Structure 1
Amino acid sequence: MTPEELSTAISACLADAVRAGEIIVDVPDGIRVERPKNREHGDWATNIALQLGKQAGMAPRQFAEVLAARLASMDGVAAVEVAGPGFLNITLDAAAAGALAKAIVEAGAAYGTTDALAGHVVNMEFVSANPTGPLHIGHTRWAALGDSIARVLKASGAEVTREYYINDAGNQMNTFGNSVLARLHGRDVPDGGYPGQYIVDLGHEVLTEHPDVRELTDEAALPIVREAAYTAQMKDIKDTLAAFGVTFDVYFSERQGLHESGAIETAVKRLREQGHVFDSEGAVWLRTTDFDDDKDRVLIRANGEPTYFAADAAYYLSKKDRGFTEKVYLLGADHHGYVNRLKAIAACAGDDPAANIEILIGQLVSVNGAKLSKRAGNIIELKDLIDWLGKDAVRYSLARYPADSPLTLDPELLKKNSNENPVFYVQYAHARSRGAARNADAAGVFRTVDGHDAFDGALLTHATENDLLAHLAAYPSIVAKAAEFREPHRVARHLETIASAYHSWYDNCRISPQGDEEVTDLNRTRLWLNDATSQVLANGLDLLGVSAPERM
């Protein structure tokens, strides 16, 4: 019995009790069941009696006792206990508990997915590194976490668009272009320019596309060099992200989408119509102090130039106009000051800051012993980290901790092929399960016999089997919570729990018979449990953007 099936069963019992006049209450669409912290309290628990007791005009314990009597008579339920103020603790019989293994295998990649967030239309903006240099260690955390958050949101039924904001407007692009142009002519980069071998490399790429550009004056050459170098640098960024397992649905150009399109002027007009724009000292302002910002913000300077804040406002309205009711921003540790001002923009645009915008702030990450990039000069490049430690090790390690906790990665640990290394531990559990399946096949153990499923969940009675099944059953609720709280580290930590339970089970329960022993339904049923574990580990690793190897 899956958690969803048990939830449906409890709903049916409640509906029957309402029809019988034992309880007068509106039956909710779904009833949540969770694993008790203490397994001695049963397989599953629900607090539905505490939630609905007042509405029913009953003490929660009395409410729970009515439900308990009906639940106890259901097939697959071994016992029901009313505990504390009105909790229902439910114990399944062995066959019903073991049936989960078969259900997981049959669900495949869909196991763990829910419709909990169906109807949510989410724009996830993350990374958004300036297109003036390579991705570096400062971008790695949000690349890993942003992508994993998007994955768990989609697994919970949300419609998610991953978006990368390209800050390709303003003086920085001219500084970038002048840096490449200077190196093309063998000159030092100008003051405040971009150093590093990558600037020289970009110059070579520009020359390949425009071999005569050095014959032009600097004034004529600059726009050509700037655009060609910008295109080449964005390709490098996209290629690096792809190597890290991160793709975006939308690359939004600030220059094209906001400045050249007139979106900023339109945004100012719309915000003025909302009543939050005022003029002072020759400039145009947004009265963000009405919505808890520490000061009002300039949209258009007295010289007529829009500010970065004006671009932020226009960008928010662009997302709103494109139908994204929920806008999630993933920002670095130095962006705390953006929280109130972005929420103020949402409020000024007529949205609810508590519902329509969410800003996540991530702390910095460092790597012991990491060397500065020879190519970039003064940073640790993401592609160097991938080459050094591997995509899986970096992504898993970054997803394993909450975003708001400072993090230092230990390269020596991440390169160890031992249980001390969390990513190795989980991946090895998956590889071990696939090896067990291959060994079972060689021993003539199959999940089906004569075209029929050979499965008897009642045979899975060993303590390690009960423990493993419990953790596999909890996986969907872990994914749902990871999506609800934007915390994919919950998935990583649960995978480690499953891996531990699997290794313990593997050491105690044989899948393949020994010697001349005959293949029995116990062997076949254990193969189902083995393959169910493989599936859950693979599903969870995929949510973290990490591979599930067949062999290690």
Structure 2
Amino acid sequence: MTPVELSRTVLHAVRRAVDEGELRAVVPERVVVAPPRPGGCGDYATNVALRLARPAGRPAWQVAEILRSRLMRDGRIADVVVTGPGFLNISLRSAAPGALVEEILRRGLRYGHGGSQAGRLVRLYAPHEVRAVVHLDVLARVLRSQGADVRADCAAAPESAWDTVLGVSGIGVAAPGSDGTPDGDPGRVAVRPVPAPADPLPLGRDAARWALLHPAPHDRPRIGPAHLVQREGNPLFRVRYAHARTRALLRNAADLGFAPEPGPVTGAGVQPLLQALGDHPRVLAAAAAHRAPDRLARHLVAVADAVTPLLPVVLPLGEEKPSAAHRARLALADAAGTVLAGGLSLLGIDAPDRL
């Protein structure tokens, strides 16, 4: 279940409770679901019960319990826990492997895009510093993937080399106010990661972006040739190599006369990969909610590491004929490659089919 589908499910539960007289309130136009904040649990949380409590004339926890009982009737929901004054914390059931792979291949590079930020205008502001501007660019991409309307401004026009080399574009200019907030407007979200200790441009677009985005915003990034090394010790190489391997498998399978077909997949290491792929929508929603592009970068490394053990067993060996198992494994590898390509695209990094 995607965040958009879950939002609709919660809204439907509210509407049914109102229609059947359990709640007396105006049904909201939409319900926002987002990754739970500290103290919460599950996959997503919503404050809809708190919003309905006053018009319903009931404590928020009572409204939450009414909605909880209705949500638990949905077979796609594993559990609903009420926390704090009335937050609904929702855990989803894992999709069947074939269904998950089908969804990923159907949605393509947009798998994981959702509506957790739908209807929100987010105004981002960054100082005139290369790492801050790259974070600004990526946060705008991630927030838009979750339905937000984003305005991204910088303290001064980004250097032309940042656009030419790093692909930073579409950023406005807004000088900071005298009180230190952007334009003196506390409604703007300041993007201020620890500055880069050296010029990242000599690394080129992909390596430079990764060097600036992979560490958490509060960590000092390392700028150096290690990001260009084509070895397993380089996380960016592992991500791009895993993607290229999945594309090579598709080409080789076509030469053998078979194509991917979602279905049951068994074997060591399959479950961690399915878990990583199923987590992708939640990771994107969390990266948007917490303004943390590093969450997406680290997730891509986890997906790459999880798919690597699968790759050697996708194609038939020797005189072996392609079977349903081979087609299902190929579809799973294809889905992993799709997630890697989509995630790299949001980071502004190329995902080549060949390395």
TM-score (norm 1): 0.52
Separation in structure 1 between the aligned mates of residue 162 and residue 64 of structure 2, nearest angstrom: 55
Q: Is the 8 A contact 1:77 1:90 kept in 2?
A: no
Which of 489, 492, 496 is the equivalent residue of 2:294? 489
Tell me the residue number matched to 1:158: 149
Aligned pair in 2 of structure 1 residues 143, 104: CA closer, same or farther (>3 Å)?
same
Which of 194, 205, 209 is the equivalent residue of 1:395? 209
Q: Is the 8 A contact 2:240 2:351 kept in 1?
A: yes
Q: Is the 8 A contact 2:276 2:306 kept in 1?
A: yes
CA deviations 1:108-128 (Å, max 9, x no partner) are: 33334445265637575664x
Q: Which has the larger radius of gyration?
A: 1
Separation in structure 1 between the aligned mates of residue 138 and residue 180 of structure 2, nearest angstrom: 23
Separation in structure 2 between the aligned mates of residue 249 and residue 59 of structure 1, nearest angstrom: 41
Separation in structure 2 between the aligned mates of residue 157 and residue 91 of structure 1, nearest angstrom: 23
Tell me the residue number matched to 1:243: 165
Which of 223, 243, 249 is the equivalent residue of 1:409? 223
SS in 1 for 2:230: coil
1:46 aligns with 2:45: yes
Separation in structure 2 between the aligned mates of residue 33 and residue 125 of structure 1, nearest angstrom: 24
Separation in structure 2 between the aligned mates of residue 446 and residue 36 of structure 1, nearest angstrom: 42
1:426 aligns with 2:239: yes
Moved more, 488-497 or 391-400: 488-497
Tell me the residue number matched to 1:446: 259
Aligned pair in 2 of structure 1 residues 34, 143: CA closer, same or farther (>3 Å)?
closer
Q: Is the 8 A contact 2:213 2:294 kept in 1?
A: yes
Correspondence list, 1:83-232, <5 A = 87-92=88-93, 94-95=95-96, 98-114=98-114, 116=117, 118=119, 120=121, 122=123, 127=128, 139-155=129-145, 156-160=147-151, 165=156
Separation in structure 2 between the aligned mates of residue 34 and residue 121 of structure 1, nearest angstrom: 17
Q: Which runs of 5+ in 2 are unaligned?
A: none
Separation in structure 2 between the aligned mates of residue 36 and residue 163 of structure 1, nearest angstrom: 28
CA deviations 1:423-478 (Å, max 9, x no partner) are: 2222222222222323333343324xxxxxx545xx35752354133322324313
Aligned pair in 2 of structure 1 residues 501, 519: CA closer, same or farther (>3 Å)?
same
**Offset of 1:5 from its aligned partner?**
1.7
Correspondence list, 1:3-82, <5 A = 3-28=3-28, 29-32=30-33, 34=35, 44-48=43-47, 51=50, 54-55=53-54, 56=56, 57-58=58-59, 60=61, 63-74=63-74, 76-77=75-76, 79-80=78-79, 82=81
Which of 186, 193, 198 is the equivalent residue of 1:354? 186
Which of 273, 280, 284 is the equivalent residue of 1:476? 284
Separation in structure 2 between the aligned mates of residue 420 and residue 473 of structure 1, nearest angstrom: 27
**Offset of 1:547 from its aligned partner?**
1.3
The one-letter amino acid of 1:430's match is H
Separation in structure 2 between the aligned mates of residue 15 and residue 245 of structure 1, nearest angstrom: 45
Aligned pair in 2 of structure 1 residues 98, 469: CA closer, same or farther (>3 Å)?
farther
Q: Is the 8 A contact 1:502 1:533 kept in 2?
A: yes
SS in 1 for 2:16: helix
CA deviations 1:289-315 (Å, max 9, x no partner) are: xxxxxxxxxxxxxxxxxxxxxxxxxxx
Separation in structure 2 between the aligned mates of residue 161 and residue 481 of structure 1, nearest angstrom: 16
The one-letter amino acid of 2:121's match is H
Separation in structure 1 between the aligned mates of residue 213 and residue 111 of structure 2, nearest angstrom: 21
Q: Taking every aligned residue pair, what percent have the same amino acid on both sides?
A: 27
**Offset of 1:394 from its aligned partner?**
1.7
SS in 1 for 2:197: strand
Aligned pair in 2 of structure 1 residues 80, 36: CA closer, same or farther (>3 Å)?
farther
Aligned pair in 2 of structure 1 residues 6, 489: CA closer, same or farther (>3 Å)?
same
**Offset of 1:67 from its aligned partner?**
3.7
The one-letter amino acid of 1:158's match is D
Separation in structure 1 between the aligned mates of residue 45 and residue 157 of structure 2, nearest angstrom: 47
Aligned pair in 2 of structure 1 residues 339, 436: CA closer, same or farther (>3 Å)?
farther
Q: Is the 8 A contact 2:34 2:286 kept in 1?
A: no
Separation in structure 2 between the aligned mates of residue 35 and residue 439 of structure 1, nearest angstrom: 43
CA deviations 1:228-278 (Å, max 9, x no partner) are: xxxxxxxxx63563122233566xxxxxxxxxxxxxxxxxxxxxxxxxxxx
**Offset of 1:146 from its aligned partner?**
3.4
Separation in structure 2 between the aligned mates of residue 473 and residue 152 of structure 1, nearest angstrom: 11
SS in 2 for 1:46: strand
Separation in structure 2 between the aligned mates of residue 480 and residue 455 of structure 1, nearest angstrom: 30
Q: Which runs of 5+ in 1 are unaligned?
A: 128-138, 168-236, 251-318, 320-326, 330-337, 348-352, 368-381, 448-453
**Offset of 1:523 from its aligned partner?**
4.1
Aligned pair in 2 of structure 1 residues 149, 79: CA closer, same or farther (>3 Å)?
closer
SS in 2 for 1:145: helix
SS in 1 for 2:106: helix
Separation in structure 2 between the aligned mates of residue 490 and residue 340 of structure 1, nearest angstrom: 33
Separation in structure 2 between the aligned mates of residue 36 and residue 160 of structure 1, nearest angstrom: 25
Separation in structure 1 between the aligned mates of residue 152 and residue 79 of structure 2, nearest angstrom: 44
The one-letter amino acid of 2:20's match is A
**Offset of 1:346 from its aligned partner?**
4.2
**Offset of 1:396 from its aligned partner?**
0.6
The one-letter amino acid of 1:426's match is V
Separation in structure 2 between the aligned mates of residue 112 and residue 91 of structure 1, nearest angstrom: 15
**Offset of 1:403 from its aligned partner?**
4.2
Correspondence list, 1:514-533, <5 A = 514=317, 515-520=319-324, 522-533=325-336
The one-letter amino acid of 2:165's match is A
SS in 1 for 2:99: helix
The alignment's C-alpha RMSD in Å is 4.0
